[in-house]
Chains A and B, each alone.
Chain A
Amino acid sequence: DTGVSQDPRHKITKRGQNVTFRCDPISEHNRLYWYRQTLGQGPEFLTYFQNEAQLEKSRLLSDRFSAERPKGSFSTLEIQRTEQGDSAMYLCASSSYAEGELFFGEGSRLTVL
């Protein structure tokens, strides 16, 4: 399968713990996006990478959130000191063009108890 893969698919953690999600984009895609989706809502933009450079971060991304894309390949999204409000589906997407289709992964569902 050469699509976008995300790991883990599900994560249950206690409040205050740190969690890290990984995204492996389609290999030839240099653009990578993270979105967050809560129940009954559409995905909300979190951050964007072009190659290894993080070019934009949403105001939704508090200081507890950090994302990286070393070497412009896979990306990680870390949430420190998780809160119950962080419970959501974290979606990664990639693309190779400035506009057009985003290829989404299956998402990482986070539940904070």
Chain B
Amino acid sequence: SQKIEQNSEALNIQEGKTATLTCNYTNYSPAYLQWYRQDPGRGPVFLLLIRENEKEKRKERLKVTFDTTLKQSLFHITASQPADSATYLCALDEGNTGFQKLVFGTGTRLLVSP
């Protein structure tokens, strides 16, 4: 069966450290993968998209890697700040639908303490 797995346990780190979140998937062959941030009671906000032919993508303090052999994406936040505390969702296109039908993981909650 198709699955997207993210750590269900919250990740607690200290301010200034690098947070690394993992997204693993099975039985998908996505052309790209996306990461979103979601604050409590709010809608998800797009952060980054990485394509299958891209190994790494960066945006300010964010870095995403995509390994199609391992079927895994890693999401890094460097120099983390308390304001980075949120739930981070990975999502990929289910494929073969003719439109973008995103399937989301359950998300990993990140807590950055001062």
Contact = CB atoms under 8 A, between A and B. Distances in A.
Interface size bracket, B side: 20 to 34
Interface stretch (A13-21, A60-68, A101-109): A101-109
B107 A42 contact: yes
Given A42-B89, A104-B43, A56 B103 contact: no
Interface string B95-109: 001111111111100
B42 A31 contact: no
Interface stretch (B44-52, B66-74, B78-86): B44-52
A95 interface: yes
A56 B98 CA distance: 10
Q: Which interface class (under 10, 10 to 19, 20 to 34, 35 or more) fits A?
A: 20 to 34
A48 interface: yes
A43 B45 contact: no
Contact of B46 (A42, A56, A91, A103): A103
17 contacts: A40-B8, A42-B91, A42-B107, A43-B89, A43-B104, A44-B104, A45-B103, A48-B99, A55-B98, A91-B44, A95-B100, A98-B100, A99-B93, A104-B43, A107-B41, A107-B43, A109-B41
Interface of B: 4, 8, 31-32, 34, 41-46, 49, 89, 91, 93-94, 97-107
